[in-house]
Structure 1
């Protein structure tokens, strides 16, 4: 049976951030840690080796595939910073129009640095994602 790689771990979030090579990216990771923590009210947890997640939900698809994932999160990767928000909600696309310099994949939004984005829109994206997932996957 398929096993998810991205599971919540007991690894230290602060230790992970301290090991980010690029000092600017490390500084941005601390800024994002504060924004995500303040906005969600959840304690940051490591998900897999590189994702800092907030809150959790259990999903189950019609295919039978199921698992757990953070409500929102981010990862300061070498190339760009990945931001994880819920997909499938049209509000996300509307908010991204005013977000600032970014690129978006199916599940991730990528930024180069926090200075490129509107942090108020970031907070709105976080709240929208958490609300959407809590409605979509109740009983958490």
Structure 2
């Protein structure tokens, strides 16, 4: 059984994953101005859902952690829970496209996407997390 993370380890995890989300967006040419903490959520050490304000005053949702790092425009969901559901469905559809390519490497990545999508869907349906 894993030992619980200390308060410092949890703070480090949040900081590291926030920095990774900002770096991910920067690599795509998107500059982060701030994080909307009230709407961002994290389930340490599994995943984080960040609502980030960009320098052009638009907003994006970013998910990272033990899931593929991905982003979507703010209007796709009105809450972190909705974003989790969105990525669950999106990754399922992406996996189907990868399976259709009949390539071993693509199939392995599709398997990974499906496993993460199923995990997200379970998190989305867990009322205790969102209550």
Larger radius of gyration: 2
Q: Calculate the TM-score normalised by the size of structure 1.
A: 0.30
Which structure: greater helix fraction?
Answer: 2
Q: Calculate the TM-score normalised by the size of structure 2.
A: 0.32
